[in-house]
Amino acid sequence: MNDSVIAIEVNGLSKVYKSGMKGRDVVALSDVSLSVNKGAIFGLLGPNGAGKTTLVKTLLGALHPTKGNALINGLGVDNPASRNGVGFLPENHRFPNYLTGGQMLRIFGGMADMSGSEIKGKANELLELVGMAKWRDTKIGKYSKGMMQRLGLAQALINDPDLIFLDEPTDGVDPVGRREIRDILKRLKEQGKTIFLNSHLLAEVEAVCDTVAILDKGKLIKTGPILELTRVSPTYQIETISLNLDAAENVKRAFPHAEMKNNNITVTFEEPRQLNKLIDILRDGHVEITAAIPVKVTLEDSFLQLLRGEVKHG
Amino acid sequence: MAKFMAILLDSYLEIKARKFFWVYWAVTIVMILVFAFLPNLEIDGRNLLKSGDIPPEVVAMAVANFFNGFFGFMIFLMVFGSAGMIPAFVSKGRIELSLSKPIGRIKLMLMKFFSVYIIMSLIFMVACGLIFAVMSFQAETYTTYFFYGLGLELVRFFIVYAILFFLGIAFKSTAASIMGYFTIWFVTGLLAGREVVYQILTSKIWKTILDTIYNILPKFSDLSDDLISVLQGQGIADYYPLWSSLLFGIVALLLGLLIFNRRDY
């Protein structure tokens, strides 16, 4: 393991597939560059077909890049040693259904160069962690989708990796399971693990990630801390009990863009202190204020704005 | 070593989960029962095997022909048992997981190839060895030629499995692998009798074409003749079919590895 703070470095990575009989070029990734720091939970977002899985597969050596290069812990991804200390839960996996959960962990742990005794202890611990201990000796063919995701997560963690790639980890998992997986991810972050999370569930990414990148049609359109994308906007929603006509007219005069509906006022301020002015107007009109709520821009809002081109890419 | 042991365990569990495994042992048990009871059958109060009425060279030829046919049948079963192993291993949703482990592609696939080959060979040796043991016990004779024959069959299975390996990687389909293999097997059978064809197609071009194809492809029919000779203690008269077939198997293995190394999954 190298001493650099960077776990993943991608430089001008492109992937072009040949499609159909005529060998038409399909650009899956176009000149993607990004870096992921050690210890971060990095979320890769994008609509279906954006190139998220292609990027993950390229980083893990399943796809050969057409152009550019990528490093994991300072080693080129064409070097198998770059995958030492790496865990992976693929999307749409088809785990061998002739294995039991316990056998699967034993086999994939062995393929990560772990000894039998190391695997045994770790497998027990992980099956407990993902709530699959009692299904250890049941054939995978009998598992539900959610159970397979849980086992897949245990498999991704079997070699105690420092870097974990998770491609749609909560796919098919019920809300309780999702919450549990989210808690596991947070615990892994506390342990200093780096997590590369590939998901189209924006709320999930918002809840756990500290840095995100957004891919669209193979191009990276935004990368940065999640706080930049989920900033608090200068828009407030003021909730009142008795918004009378006079007060409403005074508000409209002072803030022509204010929207009023069912005793609630939504207004975007040019500067924060204007909030006090609005409150003063309402108090003077004997309006009882119950709440003044800053409207937060969710990751979903930012994501959609970026995809529609409403926000400048950067 | 841990990596190879893991792949070996995976291959063993996969083979065990296939119907082939149970069919194989059912055939073995049936053959053991046949040899355990059949030689005791008496005709007109005389035991045919132990009466000494049958000349030893006839017995040797019968045993050789039996094992030639039996080995062939067991390899036929092994083709069906192993043809799906590689397409399943490289299937979407499974191969990505194996490729994400710290193992180079060539090494990974070689480990898979040899793990399947070792397990299949062990099953083959145990099954045939048990039948041979019962047969020897009943006939009260023992020959080491059987083991040479067994060795030759393992070489033949290496060639067969290398072809299945190549086809499995190239087409990612069990059906295509089986069809491809039997096409080669059928063509080699026809080419073994190409002398007859030359009497019909007298053109020199045809002779050159057929001879070239014969020399390139494995020579299963000739290997079968070699096996009968070996089982009768006569050794191999001409090693060309053996080494040229083995070379074909090695080339098929290398081509499979090359395709796997270059392909996107």
Check if the interface score ipTM surpasses 0.95: no
Q: What is the DSSP letter of A79?
A: S
| Cβ separation B9–A107 shorter than 8 A | yes
Residue B43 confidence class, pLDDT cut points 50, 70, 90? low
Which residues, including other chains, have CB under 8 Å from residue A100's CB and lie 6 or more apart?
A136, A137, A138, A139, A140
Statement: residue B40 has pLDDT above 90 = no
Cα gap B258→A264, rounded to integer Å: 68
Cα gap A279→B124, rounded to integer Å: 88
Cα gap A39→A188, rounded to integer Å: 9
* Separate counts of helices (H) and strands (E) for chain B: 12, 2
| Cβ separation B96–A90 shorter than 8 A | yes
Mean pLDDT of A28-32: 94
Residues of A in contact with B21 (CB under 8 A): none
* Comparison of pLDDT for B115 and A236, the residue scoring more: B115
Statement: residue B126 has pLDDT above 60 = yes
What's the pLDDT score for residue A34? Answer: 94
Cα gap B22→B44, rounded to integer Å: 38
What is the DSSP pairing of strand A219-225 with strand A194-198?
Answer: unpaired
What's the pLDDT score for residue A62? Answer: 94
Cα gap A65→A234, rounded to integer Å: 43
A62–chain B nearest CA distance, Å: 5
| Cβ separation B102–A80 shorter than 8 A | yes
Q: How confident is the model over B72-83, as pLDDT tens digits?
A: 899 999 999 899
For the beta carbon of residue A184, count every other beta carbon within 10 angstroms: 19
Among all residues of chain A, which has the CA nearest to that of B99?
A: A62
Among all residues of chain B, which has the CA nearest to that of A163?
A: B100
Cα B62 to the chain's mean position, in Å?
Answer: 21
* Comparison of pLDDT for B60 and B122, the residue scoring more: B122
Cα gap A163→A287, rounded to integer Å: 55
Nearest to B100 among A60, A81, A106 (CB): A60
Query: Chain B within 8 Å of A98 (Cβ-Cβ)?
Result: yes
Residues of A in contact with B22 (CB under 8 A): none
Cα gap A195→A128, rounded to integer Å: 21
Nearest to A113 among B2, B9, B264 (CB): B2
What's the pLDDT score for residue B39? Answer: 61
Query: Chain A within 8 Å of B6 (Cβ-Cβ)?
Result: yes
Query: Chain A within 8 Å of B5 (Cβ-Cβ)?
Result: yes
Residue B53 confidence class, pLDDT cut points 50, 70, 90? low
Statement: residue B138 has pLDDT above 70 = yes
Nearest to B3 among A17, A83, A110 (CB): A110
Q: Are B215 and B245 in contact (CB under 8 A)?
A: no
Q: What is the mean pLDDT of chain B?
A: 89
Mean pLDDT of A242-248: 85
Statement: residue A95 has pLDDT above 80 = yes
Q: How confident is the model over A41-66, as pLDDT tens digits?
A: 999 998 888 899 999 999 999 999 99
Q: Which three-class secondary structure state does DSSP give residue A68?
A: strand
Whole-structure pTM value? 0.84
Residues of B in contact with A86 (CB under 8 A): 100, 102
Query: Chain B within 8 Å of A59 (Cβ-Cβ)?
Result: no
* Separate counts of helices (H) and strands (E) for chain A: 10, 14
Cα gap A252→B101, rounded to integer Å: 64
Q: Going edge to edge, which strands form the sheet with A264-268? A: A259-261, A264-268, A232-240, A289-296
Residues of A in contact with B2 (CB under 8 A): 110, 113-116
The H-assigned helical ranges of B140-219 are: 145-171, 174-192, 194-200, 204-216
Statement: residue A194 has pLDDT above 80 = yes
| Cβ separation B5–A110 shorter than 8 A | yes
